[in-house]
Amino acid sequence: MKTLVVDSSAVMRRIVTQMLAQMGYQNTIQVDTCSAAFEVLNQGEIDLIIADSQMTDMCCLKFVKTIRQRRYKDVNFLMMTLDGSLAEVNEARRAGIDKCVVKPFNFECLKASVEFFTVKLQG
């Protein structure tokens, strides 16, 4: 599964990428802005985007809404957020986000979310 990790924090990108590697997912690309994420998406197939809710160049909800209007509209989307309130989760789902994880999260939490997408991709 090819994964794109989008977070302005280099530390957070590294942590998520290391967790994915521990799960056996080695094909991960890291970027620090939504603009850079669009460049990656335009270059090829991505199966899963894991993005922070608070990006420096674009709100995550605007990012996913833009993605859903383009040719990569079917990409799976996992949002990392500090605010796990029902209101935010509902707003995220309306925007097109498939699943949310609340920071700080542990390995098992991320693994469960990623496995959800793995099963979904396998049909």
Q: What is the CATH number of the domain that holds 76?
A: 3.40.50.2300
- Distance (Å, rounded) from C-alpha 17 to C-alpha 23? 10
Mean pLDDT of 49-61: 91
Residue 42 token pair: 């335009």
Tens-place pLDDT, residues 34-50 = 999 999 999 989 999 99
**Percent of the chain with pLDDT strictly greater than 70:** 100
**Percent of the chain with pLDDT strictly greater than 90:** 79
123 pLDDT higher than 80: no
Mean pLDDT of 76-94: 93
Q: Which amino acid is at 32?
A: D
C-alpha 21 chain-centroid distance: 15
Question: Could you tell me the residue range of the domain that residue 55 belongs to?
Answer: 3-122
Mean pLDDT of 22-37: 97
**Rg of the Cα atoms in the chain:** 13
Q: How many domains does the chain have?
A: 1
- Distance (Å, rounded) from C-alpha 42 to C-alpha 21? 24
Mean pLDDT of 87-100: 93
The pLDDT score that the predictor gives to residue 32 is 97
